[in-house]
């Protein structure tokens, strides 16, 4: 057995045997019925948990998330523009797909934190009120239900029908 093959096998074994990572991925549950792995899967979940580049597959993302229309439901916003600006002034814009998902690969743009984000669709713009400190997965902080430890999922409108400032 070659040295390179042994090194690859060791890396794969160690990555697959990380009990904390394995537990976090398991807690996500299975795929939704009828939805295959791909750009439309797992809306609202912390994308970078799997798309971290650790094993090369799935593809590594630097920033990814899901935009929903309202905070009280899971209706996705298709075609929203997610505008990201990092501390160095670098910026990148991504569009949401039919599931409300957007993603930026590490090859497209790798932000320097902190970062600000705005979401625009249909003449409405919502800006995040705080800076993103170091986590590129929106679903890592924006979990349901909203409460003291989470603002809830990312939405274009507020519960009262207004839009975020």
* CATH assignment at residue 146: 2.60.40.10
Task: Provide the domain limits for residue 21.
Answer: 1-29
Q: Taking the CA atoms of 57, 64, 131 and 83 in sequence, report the sign of the dihedral they define.
A: positive
Let me know whether 93 and 20 are in one domain: no
Q: Looking at residues 80-98, what average pLDDT do you find?
A: 97
Same domain, 45 and 109: yes
Q: Give per-residue pLDDT as tens, 106-145.
A: 999 999 999 999 999 999 999 998 999 888 989 888 888 8
- For residue 88, pLDDT over 50 is answered with yes
Say what the pTM is.
Answer: 0.80
Instruction: Please indicate, yes or no, whether residues 20 and 52 belong to a single structural domain of this protein.
Output: no
Q: How many residues are present in the chain?
A: 165
Q: Please choose, from the candidates 36, 117, 129, the residue with its C-alpha nearest in 3D space to the C-alpha of residue 83.
A: 117
Same domain, 121 and 164: yes
Long-range residue pairs from 93-96, CB within 8 A, at least 24 positions apart, any chain:
94/63, 96/66, 96/67, 96/121
Mean pLDDT of the chain: 83
Position with higher pLDDT, 116 vs 4: 116
Residue 17 pLDDT level (bands cut at 50, 70, 90): low
- pLDDT given for residue 38 in this prediction: 83
Find out whether 26 and 19 touch, Cβ atoms under 8 Å.
Answer: no
Instruction: Examine the domain organization and report whether 19 and 89 are in the same domain.
Output: no
Same domain, 1 and 63: no
Provide the phi-psi class of 142: left if phi over 0, else alpha when psi is between -120 and 50, else beta.
Answer: beta
Looking at the structure, tell me whether residues 141 and 100 fall in a common domain. yes
Q: Are residues 92 and 71 in the same domain?
A: yes
Asked if residue 147 and residue 119 are part of one domain, the reply reads yes
Q: Locate 92 and state its tokens.
A: 């990148």
11 pLDDT band (50/70/90 cuts)? very low
Whether residue 55 is found in the same domain as residue 22:
no
Q: Identify whether residues 101 and 133 lie together within a single domain.
A: yes
| Number of domains present in the structure of the chain | 2
Question: Does residue 34 register a pLDDT over 70?
Answer: yes
Indicate whether 89 and 111 sit together in one domain: yes
């Amino acid at each position: 057995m070659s040295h390179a093959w042994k090194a690859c096998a060791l890396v794969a074994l160690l990555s697959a045997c990380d009990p904390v990572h394995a537990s976090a991925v398991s807690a996500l549950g299975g795929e939704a019925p009828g939805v295959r792995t791909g750009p439309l899967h797992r809306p609202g979940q912390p994308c970078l948990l799997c798309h971290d580049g650790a094993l090369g597959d799935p593809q590594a993302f630097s920033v990814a998330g899901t935009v929903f229309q309202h905070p009280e439901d899971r209706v996705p916003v298709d075609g929203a523009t997610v505008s990201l600006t990092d501390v160095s002034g670098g910026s990148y814009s991504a569009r949401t797909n039919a599931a409300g998902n957007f993603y930026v690969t590490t090859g497209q743009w790798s932000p320097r934190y902190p970062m600000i984000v705005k979401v625009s669709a249909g003449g409405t713009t919502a800006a995040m009120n705080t800076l993103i400190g170091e986590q590129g997965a929106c679903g890592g902080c924006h979990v349901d239900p909203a409460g003291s430890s989470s603002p809830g999922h990312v939405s274009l409108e507020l519960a009262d029908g207004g839009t975020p400032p």
